[in-house]
Each structure stands twice: as C-alpha cells, then as structure tokens.
Amino acid sequence: MNSFDYWLPFFPERASTLANHFEALFWYIAITSGTVWLGVYAAIFYFCVRYRRSVSPGPTPRILGSHKLELAWTIVPLFVFLSYFGWGLVVYNYAVHPPEDSMEVFVIGKQWMWKAQYPDGHRVIIGGNPRNMSENERNSIGKLVLPIHRPTRVTITSEDVIHDFGIPAFRSKMDALPGRYTTAWYMPTKLGEYHIFCDQYCGTWHSLMVGKVKVVTGEEFDQWLAGHAPLQGTENAVDGSPASAGQQLFLKLQCINCHSANAQGRAPVLEGLYGQRVPLRGGGGEIADDHYIMESIRRPRAKVADGWEAIMPAYDESQVSAEQLNQLVAYIRSLKKGTTPVSNQRFPAPNGAPTERTTPKASGGGN
Amino acid sequence: MSIAVPTGGAVAAPPPPEPEPLAANYLNNGYSIWSWLFTVDHKRIGILYLVSISVFFALGGLFAALVRTNLLSPTGAILSEDAYNRAFTAHGVLMLFFFLIPAVPGVFGNFFIPMMIGAKDLAFPKLNLASWYVFMIGGACAGWAVLVGGIDTGWTLYPPYSSRASQAAVVPGVLGAFISGFSSIMTGLNIMVTIHKMRAPGMTWGRLPLFAWALYATSLIQLLATPVVAITLVLLMAERMMGIGIFDPSIGGDPVLFQHLFWFYSHPAVYIMILPGMGVVSEILTCFSRKNIFGYTAVAWSSAGIAVVGFLLWAHHMFVAGISFYAAMLFSLLSMLVAVPSAIKMFNWTATLYRGSITFHAPMLLSIGFLVLFTIGGLTGLFLATLGTDIHLHDTYFVVAHFHFVMVGGMVLAYMAAVHFWWPKMTGRMYSDFWSRLASVVIIIGFFFTFIPQFVAGYYGMPRRYPNYPAELQWLNVMSTAGSSVLGLGYLMPAIYLPLSFFTGRRAPANPWSATGLEWQTPSPPHVFNFETTPVVVCGPYEYSLGVDQQGRTLPPPPNETNAEPDAQKEAHGG
Amino acid sequence: MANAHASPVLKHHFEDLGQQHACERLGMWMFLATEILFFGGLFAAYTIYRMLYPHEFEIASSFMNRQIATVNTVFLITSSLTMTLAIRCAKLGDRAGLIRNLILTVALGTAFMVMKGFEYAHEFHENLAPGKMFRTEYEKATKAVAGLAPAAADEYFKADAAKPEHERAHAHWAAELALKNKASADEVVDSGKVQMFLCFYFVMTGIHGIHIVVGLGLILWLVYEAATGGIPPENYSTVEVVSLYWHLVDAIWLFLMPLLYLAGAGMHH
C-alpha cells in the first residue's frame, strides 16, 4: 500500500509512536503560539485602522511604557516557552532511548546510498542512485523492511562524509558520522511504505540518496528474514564498515583458531563480550570496553580472564597497526551471540603468526 | 528620561526655519572617482557600501531565481544536480556574508550613527574606508570562486565533505568569507568606540536612539563572534590545502568539532543580521505613529540581551548531529530564553501604535510588514528550538522557511524600510510615494506566497538542498516559485524608482518625515562635517507627543496621509 | 580650522586630544578582544583533543624542543619590557631612547622568529610534521623492528642513534613511538593522535608567528614615525596602542608555550 497519493491528506502520514508524540507537541505549539500571533495581528490591524491619521490627527499622548505590562509580557511568554521546552524534552527523551529488546539494524551511509544489515547478517542496499552503483549493488537494491509493533534500533555510521538517515513518516532522523556510531529507534504503528531521505547535504546526489522503508506484519517479517540466507563470511559486519575489516583481520591473524565458538576451546568465546564485566585472574574484574580489548591484544598478560591460561601472544604495532586495532575492536563490539565465524582455510597464516599451539613463542621479558 | 522643554504640545513655538540647501554638501564635495575611492567621509563610505551590497543582493537574488526555477520540476527543471548545488551555495554565501551582515551596519550605521549622536565622523575614518576595501576584496575572492565554477558545499561548509570530498573551488570561496569577516570586525569596532566616546553633550546612554542601541549590540557580536569563525575557516582551509586534519576522523579528529566552532559564530551572526533591522523599525514606527516608543528601556536592553544570550545557543543547530542528550537539553532551554527579548520587542512595538496618529508611507508599510512577518519567523523558531519537534523538522524546508521569514521578511524588509526612510536625507530627493507604497505591498504579498508553502513542505518532510523531490510535493514548490516571481518584481520596483528620484524626484526638505533624531536637523544632503556647530541634546529621542526634536526645538508639521509633503513645506519650496 | 594650528596631531573629527586618545585606546582594547577570541577558538579545540587523547598529546609534546621554547620565552618577555620602556621614553620626549627601545624590541622579536625558523627546519628535517612526512617516517621505524622482540628493537634504535647524524636511519621520535608500541611498552600509542598534536602545534605556532611578524612591522613603522618627529610627548598614544598589541602577542605565547611544550614534561626523553 503506497501511503502517498497525489492529493495529500491534510496531515502527513504518521507511522510510528514517535510520530504521534510529535504531532501532539507540534500542534500544541502551533495552537498556543498561533493564538498569540493572531492576537498580535489583530492588535496591529486594529490600531492601524483606529488610529490612522485621518481619524486620529493628534497630538498623541505621551505614553512611555508600563512596568506591569513589561513584566507580564516577559513572564508569561517565558513560561509558555518553558512548557514547549519541557514537553519537547520528554519527546526527545523518548526518541533517543531505545527499549532494551529492540532489534538492532546497522545502517551505513556512503555517497550516495544506504546499506543496512540485519541481525542475522542479511544485507540490503536501500535506495540510492543506480547510476552510482556497482552491478552487485544494483542487484541488491531493496527496502528497509521492518516489523510493525516491534521496536527496531538502528545503529548508524558513515563511510565517508556526514549523512543523515531520516524517515519523515516516523518523524525521526539522525546524522551518520564517519568514525562514530549514532542511534535512533522506531516502533512502527502502520503498515505501508514510507520515504527515507538523506537529511544532511553530502554532495552531488544527496537528493538521490533516498529509499523506502516497508512496514510489514510480524509474521511476514520473520518469514522474509528466514527466507534469505545470510551471505557467507559477512555475519554482523557490513562491507566497508570498520567491523567488516576487523572481521577479515580476525580471520587473517588466526584469532579464530583460539577464539572459536567452542566454549571448551583454548580461549574465551568473544560473542557478546563487549560491555560485559570480565572477572580477572588474581581477583577483581573489568568491563570489556574498547580500552580493555585493545590492551588484551597489545599486552594480553596484563589482565588475564579468570579461568584461562595466560597463553595469548601479544600483537605489536608492526603486526596490528592502530587503525587495524580499531577495526578489531569494532568487530568484537559487533560480535553477537551465535555469530562467531567458521575458521576459514582461505587465509593462510602470515609468517610468524601463532598457529595451533599451546605455548607462546619466546617473547623475551615478562608482562 | 529627562527633558528640559516645557510641556505644552506642538504649538508652543514655531519650528526653526528650514536650513538652506547647501551649496557644498558631502555629495558634491568633489566629483572625481578618486574623491570617492579615497574618501574618509563616513557618509560617502556608506554610499559605497550601498552600491556594492546592492550588487551582491542582485547576484544572490539571481541565484535564488535559478534555485526556485529549478524546483518547478521534481527532477530539476533547468539545472544538473551539481549546478543546483553550486547555485544554492552561492545564494547562501552571497546573501549572508555579502548582503545581510554588512547591509545596515555598513550603509546606515556608517552614515547615520555619527549624525545621530552629534559627531563629525566615526572614531576611525581611515579604518572605515579600509573596511570597505576589505569587504570588496573578500567579495572579489568569493566572486572568483563563483566564476571558476562555484562551490558546492552549502554555505555551512561541513567537513569531511568540504575538506575532502568536494571537487569545487572551496578555498577561494572560504577565503572570501574569511576576508569579509575582517570588514565586519572593523565596522563593529568603529561603531562601538564611536558610541562610547563621541556622543554630543547631553546625549546620555538613556537618550540614544534605539537604532544606536541596536547597532551597539550588533557591533558587540561582530567583534566577539567573527574571530571564531575566522579561525574555523583557517582550520578548514589548512585541512583542505595542507592536509592538517584537525577535523579528520582517521587521525582522531572530529567533524562535529567544526560544527561547534562554526555555529558558535553563525548563530550570533543571525543576530548581527536582525538587530540592526529591529533598530530601524523602532525609528520608523515612532516617527510614523507620532508617538514615543513604548518601553524604551525594555527595547534597548532587549537588544543587549539578545546579543549576550545569543552566544549561548549555537548547538541548537546540532540536535541530531550526535551531541549528548544533556547538551541538547541545555541548548534547547537556552534557546527558549532568547525568544523572550524578541517577544518583548514585538509587544512594545505594537503598543507604540496604540493611540498614535499613523500614516502609511513606504517606510511604515515596510515596518508593519516586518512586524507581521518577523512574528511568524520568530514563532516558527520555537518549533525548532523544541527538541521533540526539531528531530523531524531539522534540515527540512521548515527550517528554510523559518530563516527566510526572519531574514527576508524581517531583515530585508527592514533594510528596505531604512532605505526608504533615509533616502531623502542621503540623496536630497524624494521618491514616488505611490510606487513606493505599491512596491512595499507587492514585496510583502510576494514574500508570503513564496515562503508559506515551504513551511508545509518541510512539515511533510521535504529535505533542504534537494533538487529532486517526491512528486506529490510539486504543487507546493510551484506555488513557492510563483510567489518568488512576485517578490522579485517587488524588489525590481525600488531598483527603478529610487535611482529615478535623482531625475524626477522633488528636492527633499531637511526633515520630510518630521522626525526627532539629530540626523534630521541637518540639510538634505548633509554638510561634509555633518553639523555646523556641535548639537546640544536636551531630551530623549521620540518626543513626538511633545512635538520637539532632541535639541528641544519644535518639529515641522508631519507629512500628511496621502503624500509625503505637507502643505506648509510645499509652500516654502514654491510647489 | 583653528585647532590645527594649536595642535597638529588632533584629527579633524575629534573635539579634542583627550577624546582622540580615549578612542584610540578603547579601539585597541576592543581589537585585542577579537584576537583573544581568535586564538580562543584554537585553544578550545586543543583543549578538547587534549582531554580526549591525553596520552598521545603528552608523548607528542615531549618531542618538542623545550630549549628553544625557553629561549624564545625569554626573548619575548624582554621585548615586552623594552616596549614598555619605549612608552616611557615617548612620554618624556626622549626620542633617541624611544627609537633605541623600539629597535631593541624589533631585534628581540626577530630573534624569536629566527629561533622558530631553526626549530621548524629541524622538525621538517626529522619529518615531524603531520601528514605524509610523519606517516612515512613512522612506518619506516615500525617496519625496521617488525620481527624483533622489544629488547632487540631497543638495541637496534640505540645503535642507530649512536651513529653520526647524517648516517642515522631513523628520527628519534619515530624510534620512541615504535618502541612504545612494542608489546612490552607501557601503553598503546595511536600515531594518528600524535599527528593531531602536531597539527595543533604547527597551526598555533604558525598563526602566532604571523602575529609577531605583523607586530614587528607595526613597530618598524613606529620607528619611522619617531624618526620623522611624528611622536611628540603630547601624542604618544600610537606607541601605547602598538605596545598593547605586542603585550597581547607575548601573553598568548605565555599560554601557548606550556600547552605545547610542557604537556609531556614529566616524561623521560
């Protein structure tokens, strides 16, 4: 069902819970300020008519002001504006705090298309100008399919310049920044297809970086998702993102050999590790954040996870540059339950890399 | 405010005799081009600014016409996407940096601040001339950028697009804006020092015309905010030309930092643009309703309040740029605060009309138009300052309509009002009363139809800077373009009848509008050194109800309703 | 105009000399406010990145030449002294003294710029500049010790540093960074963020340097004016006004110097 006919209804489509919040707030502001506005117009109009020169030749009274009036029309507008602020804050708070159980979709903006990846790894290109795309990309142009009445959180980033992922029918938008992640979330309330726009000027085809979101029933969505096999080797990491580069490294450096999906293997499973508290050998614990992961790669002996042997070798700047380190972190961040890749024989180990062994190479000096 | 004249109304004493038209005034004090290009007379410099910003306005308007024409079709009627991007960028850069910011301070601030306070010139006349040259050099740079194909980054120049991805002549364009900023600083500095130190005897702060208060507040912002954008543009040019990547994410830089630094200037900049216009409106409303301003202190201090609070709001342009929840909350709250002084002014202006004696000459029509249109612009700003609504309305045509209402419906109208109000003083000629009133009405109506549809389009989510848009929004765009043709016609009219006044307009008396300001106590056009003797101020501005000017002398009869010359003055001129 | 004869220095649009001087002084203070805001933007940006990347900024700062900076600080502070003495000479009508002090100021300012020139030249020679120069030098160092254990890498760089200057393969900073990023080092250092510090270093000192040069030009103009009798004791405000500018440039250096050169002062080097 196409929500846009040529003849627009008076109100634009509302297709999410946020849209309903928006409309209530918008019309509150419009009506309250509109009333004052019309009142001022009425006063101006009346004064211009009633006191025009021909009926009010003067001399005019020497009126300098009125403290009472000044106070009144300072305090009252201030409180009205504060009410706008307060209600606006409530709506904004709603808009920027996704519920815990949201489905997470990664959205990457790049000149001039959007790439979305679902939790099972299924990828789709949303909109964009077909003239800008490779053959593969053109064949996978689709829509952002979302289930109705279920919350979805989008984690957005950009590969190049600043973009903005905006869906007017949801009354939502959020900038896509290179090198950072931002989030937005939706609870769709109406079936149909709605526009997606890029809402931050990004170059020549900024206006063609548009697509559609398609809201379907829950069952339809589950079927749709299940009906597509996740593409091999790309679980959870959209091509071009730092996380996907990190996944390549994870395989290439043979991390997968120890950090497999096997909980009885040589090293902890890394799925869902990010953000968890890790108990450490020797007592205490630490939250597995970016710094922890980086340190674990550079100096693994510093903090060993409780219950594991200190056998992980260290990777210095010559083996893993700072940029690659960031990519590995991004990948491990994105690693969700059940998504550890299968060890892939396509990548032979580089010289000097640890392979399947239990003792570290001699690395001179304790950590 | 104190007053040393006995109350008793306009019939107490006859008005002083009409000053003889000067054999030697500032206009005929040398006719050579060098006497103009090397002048240090603030009045001539004001005229230099008038001519140059009119050219920039016309250029900016031309690009606007290209943009609006292209938007007639949902897939772009006349331009490629690339050309369209360059057109709207040129429109923004020219209109903002080369018209709106210098317009009233450069033309009317330069010309009239010294006269209003009873001084012979601004504090630094040579600096004043330098400011015009710097402005022109900046304009030449930006013009060069346009000629070599334009820049396509939008006037907001966000990296990484502007620092890395854009193929256009970004550096010359940015350099042009950077250089013109120095002109802005020089003018602001000059005006502030002048108002501080060169007021005539008796001209206390409480007796300053509100135009002077407004320009003082504007100059404060120009002085303090412009340097920040200067350094920001330097950093952008450094990144683009030399790879010094302060905003480059790959070495830990943050493109959002650019936005913070940029908007730290660009938000106060919009107050640089509007405050002078508000000052003009205060002058005109009082004169044409023959009444004192209602709440002088409130209006004066609200200008200062807007200037100060305006520095604290910049990130309301960045609510969805990835700033923290708490930052967003803070900036939204502060943005609500700045709306209060503007509201105060609106109410005070409206109350000034109460029990006045109003005529509707062109300056007054334009000022009333300002009241009407600026209200809409200001109120729609509230939707954008409110967090919950801004998410949807950000970067849509709602924002475009909002800022055009305040800047065009507000500031350009006020600028036109200033031109019409002070034209007789500057040129010594009256323009056609009929055509000026008609043009005012055409401008207001054309403006309305251009920008009201854009509010609707933005509410529906049409993004800005889009040459391609959903077909169902076409009717709104067509209506907007139709309105813009009417608006363009309205601007064309003064471009004809104003120069024509040099040939067919009757000679202007010293005080055709019977205004109270010191600038009207001189012949039209004024003497080179403004005043024969230093004026002595005995009362506040706007004593229309008492019928006296600021020197305590009786005012001439005001112009009557149907034409601009009262019978008494007509007889004095022999018809 | 009668005034002109009484006081040739009074400009035509002022009522009296008092008003003229008051305007000149107020104008210069306002201009200084703009300069503070101009550098303020830079300082704000630097502060933000320093708070985000304290470790990298400390390390990068430790690569800067503190000796030259100290000498330069002494030059600038002394030049502010000579500038103030110049005002005093002008007030007293001591033209020779005025010119002498102005020339001294110029000399000290020039010495500052010369030292800065040496500093920049050395840094460029070492490839300690953001962008390609930094990257190539750094990669050269990391590649050289790629397969080595930290102790061996340390030996290698020490040996390289011991060679005569024209034979050294690596800049000392590149060696230090490469060593830090070996497994046994304290913490990971992101070389990109070290580059970020260098961006600020060059932009901040560069813009400051431009302001010094402009100041030198103004002071030279004062010398000319003084020599041709344009600075009588009743109208020395031009000297005052230029000295205000010069003091501000000096003051900015006093903030710049610790931020850029002393941020890593606690580190071994």
pLDDT in tens, C220-253: 999 999 999 888 888 888 999 999 999 999 999 9
Whether A323 sits inside 8 A of C151 (CB atoms) is no
How far is Cα A2 from Cα A10, in angstroms, rounded to an integer?
A: 17
What per-residue confidence (pLDDT) applies to A147?
94
Helix (H) or strand (E) holding A113: strand A113-117
Whether B355 sits inside 8 A of A61 (CB atoms) is yes
Chain A residues touching B466 at Cβ < 8 A: 197, 206-207
Q: Is A248 in contact with A240 (CB distance < 8 Å)?
A: no
DSSP code for B163:
I
- Residue A344 pLDDT > 60: no
Question: Is residue C67 packed enough to be buried (19+ CB in 10 Å), middle (13-18) or exposed (0-12)?
Answer: exposed
C-alpha pair distances (Å), B336 with each of A35, B339, B342, B433, C157? 18, 5, 11, 41, 61
Sequential DSSP letters for B477-501 = HHHHHHHHHHHHHHHHHHHHHHHHH
Q: Which of C151, C152, C181 sits opposite A316 (nearest CB)?
A: C181
What per-residue confidence (pLDDT) applies to B561?
80
Q: Is B163 in contact with B99 (CB distance < 8 Å)?
A: no
DSSP reduced 3-state for A173? strand
The closest alpha carbon to B277, from B377, B98, B417, belongs to B417
Residues 127-186 in C contacting B (C-alpha not used; CB under 8 Å): 130-132
Q: What is the pLDDT of residues A68-124, one digit of tens each?
A: 999 999 999 999 999 999 999 999 999 999 999 899 898 989 888 998 888 776 778
Q: What is the pLDDT of residues C159-178, one digit of tens each?
A: 988 888 888 889 989 988 88
How far is Cα B398 from Cα B442, in angstroms, rounded to an integer?
A: 23
What pLDDT band is residue A259 in, cutting at 50, 70 and 90? confident
How far is Cα A260 from Cα B432, in angstroms, rounded to an integer?
A: 87
Q: Is A231 in contact with A244 (CB distance < 8 Å)?
A: no
Q: Does B330 touch chain A (CB under 8 A)?
A: no
Query: Judging by DSSP bridges, how do beta strands A103-110 and A113-117 pair with one another?
Result: antiparallel
Region class of A340: left (phi > 0), else alpha (psi between -120 and 50), else beta? beta
Nearest CA in chain C to A318: C146
Q: What is the mean pLDDT of residues C100-111?
A: 96
What is the nearest CA distance from A153 to chain B, expressed in angstroms? Answer: 16
Mutate to test the interface with B, among A23, A90, A177, A206 (most CBs of B within 10 A): A206
Length of chain A counted residue by residue:
367
Q: Is B542 in contact with B553 (CB distance < 8 Å)?
A: no
- One-letter amino acid at B501 equals S
Mention every residue, 6+ apart, whose C-beta is less than 8 A from residue B81: A204, A205, A206, A207, A208, B467, B468
SS3 labels along A324-367? HHHHHHHHHHHCCCCCCCCCCCCCCCCCCCCCCCCCCCCCCCCC
Tens-digit pLDDT profile for chain B (575 aa)?
343 444 444 445 677 777 766 667 888 877 888 889 999 999 999 999 999 999 999 999 999 999 999 999 999 899 999 999 999 999 999 999 999 999 999 999 999 999 999 999 999 999 999 999 999 999 999 999 988 988 999 999 999 999 888 888 899 999 999 999 999 999 999 999 999 999 999 999 999 999 999 999 999 999 999 999 999 999 999 999 888 889 988 888 899 999 999 999 999 999 999 999 999 999 999 999 999 999 999 999 999 999 999 999 999 999 999 999 999 999 999 999 999 999 999 999 999 999 999 999 999 999 999 999 999 999 999 999 999 999 999 999 999 999 999 999 999 999 999 999 999 999 999 999 999 999 999 999 999 999 999 999 999 999 999 999 999 999 999 999 999 999 999 999 999 999 999 899 899 999 999 999 999 999 889 988 888 888 999 999 999 999 999 999 999 988 888 765 555 445 454 43
Q: Is B251 in contact with C192 (CB distance < 8 Å)?
A: yes
How far is Cα C202 from Cα C120, in angstroms, rounded to an integer?
A: 9
The closest alpha carbon to B363, from B533, B150, B232, B211, belongs to B211
- Residue A348 pLDDT > 50: no
Q: What residues of B are in the C interface, CB distance below 8 Å?
A: 119-125, 185, 189-190, 192-194, 196-198, 223-228, 230-232, 234-235, 238, 242-246, 250-254, 257, 261, 264, 529, 534
What pLDDT band is residue A365 in, cutting at 50, 70 and 90? very low
C-alpha pair distances (Å), C46 with each of B162, B256, C196, C202? 21, 14, 9, 12
Q: Is B190 in contact with B131 (CB distance < 8 Å)?
A: yes
Mutate to test the interface with C, among B45, B124, B193, B242 (most CBs of C within 10 A): B193
Nearest CA in chain C to B121: C13
Residue B74 corresponds to which tokens in the numbers above? 């949902």
Mutate to test the interface with C, among A316, A321, A325 (most CBs of C within 10 A): A316
Region class of B398: left (phi > 0), else alpha (psi between -120 and 50), else beta? alpha
**Around Cβ B73, how many Cβ atoms within 10 Å?**
16
Q: Does C197 touch chain B (CB under 8 A)?
A: no
Residue C259 corresponds to which tokens in the numbers above? 């931020």
- Residue A42 pLDDT > 80: yes
What per-residue confidence (pLDDT) applies to B497?
96
The closest alpha carbon to C29, from C254, C238, C248, C213, belongs to C248
What per-residue confidence (pLDDT) applies to A272?
81
What per-residue confidence (pLDDT) applies to A228?
61
What per-residue confidence (pLDDT) applies to A239?
56
Q: Is B373 in contact with A44 (CB distance < 8 Å)?
A: no
What per-residue confidence (pLDDT) applies to B26?
83
Residues 119-148 in B contacting A (C-alpha not used; CB under 8 Å): none
Residue whose structure tokens are 């120049």: B157
Whether B294 sits inside 8 A of A65 (CB atoms) is yes
Q: What is the largest CA-CA distance in chain C?
A: 88
Q: What is the pLDDT of residues C169-209, one digit of tens each?
A: 899 899 888 888 775 544 578 888 899 999 999 999 999 99
Residue B163 corresponds to which tokens in the numbers above? 């620092």
Mention every residue, 6+ apart, whose C-beta is less than 8 A from residue A7: none
Q: Is A246 in contact with A333 (CB distance < 8 Å)?
A: no
Partners of residue B435 on adjacent β-strands = none
Whether A322 sits inside 8 A of C184 (CB atoms) is no
What per-residue confidence (pLDDT) applies to C186?
47
What per-residue confidence (pLDDT) applies to A223?
85
What is the nearest CA distance from C179 to chain A, expressed in angstroms? Answer: 9
Mention every residue, 6+ apart, whose C-beta is less than 8 A from residue A298: A314, A315, A316, A320, A325, C181, C183, C188
C-alpha pair distances (Å), B380 with each of B383, B384, B459, B497, C209? 5, 7, 11, 34, 46
Phi, psi of C138 (to 5 degrees): -70, -45
Q: What is the mean pLDDT of residues A51-61?
A: 90
Q: Is A173 in contact with A194 (CB distance < 8 Å)?
A: no
End-to-end CA distance of chain B: 39
How many Cβ pairs within 8 Å bridge chains B and C? 111
Q: Which of A8, A82, A200 sits opposite B395 (nearest CB)?
A: A200
% chain A with pLDDT above 70: 85
Sequential DSSP letters for C167-227 = G--S-HHHHHHHHHTSTTSSS---HHHHHHHHHHHHHHHHHHHHHHHHHHHHHHHHHHHHH
Question: Is residue B303 packed enough to be buried (19+ CB in 10 Å), middle (13-18) or exposed (0-12)?
Answer: buried
Write down the H helix ranges in B5-124. 33-37, 42-70, 81-95, 110-117
Q: Is C192 in contact with A323 (CB distance < 8 Å)?
A: yes
Chain A residues touching C147 at Cβ < 8 A: 318, 352
The closest alpha carbon to B464, from B154, B256, B161, belongs to B154
What per-residue confidence (pLDDT) applies to A353?
41
Q: Is B118 in contact with B537 (CB distance < 8 Å)?
A: yes
Q: What is the pLDDT of residues C40-96, one digit of tens each?
A: 999 999 999 999 889 889 999 999 999 999 999 999 999 999 999 999 999 999 999
Q: Is A87 in contact with B388 (CB distance < 8 Å)?
A: yes
What pLDDT band is residue A362 in, cutting at 50, 70 and 90? very low
Query: Judging by DSSP bridges, how do beta strands A152-158 and A144-147 pair with one another?
Result: unpaired
Q: Does B83 touch chain A (CB under 8 A)?
A: no
Whether C14 sits inside 8 A of B198 (CB atoms) is yes
Whether B158 sits inside 8 A of A201 (CB atoms) is yes
End-to-end CA distance of chain C: 69
Residue whose structure tokens are 């206009």: B27
Phi, psi of A178 (to 5 degrees): -70, 140
What per-residue confidence (pLDDT) applies to A137?
74
How far is Cα B281 from Cα B410, in angstroms, rounded to an integer?
A: 10
What per-residue confidence (pLDDT) applies to B100?
96
Q: Does C135 touch chain A (CB under 8 A)?
A: no
Average pLDDT, whole number, for chain C? Answer: 89
How far is Cα A312 from Cα A310, in angstroms, rounded to an integer?
A: 6
What per-residue confidence (pLDDT) applies to A359?
36
Chain A residues touching C151 at Cβ < 8 A: 364-365
Chain A residues touching B390 at Cβ < 8 A: 88
Rg (CA), chain A: 29
Q: Is C215 in contact with C248 (CB distance < 8 Å)?
A: no
Average pLDDT, whole number, for chain A? Answer: 81
Residue A120 corresponds to which tokens in the numbers above? 């099972």
Phi, psi of B112 (to 5 degrees): -105, -20
Question: Is residue C97 packed enough to be buried (19+ CB in 10 Å), middle (13-18) or exposed (0-12)?
Answer: middle
Phi, psi of A32 (to 5 degrees): -65, -50
% chain C with pLDDT above 70: 94
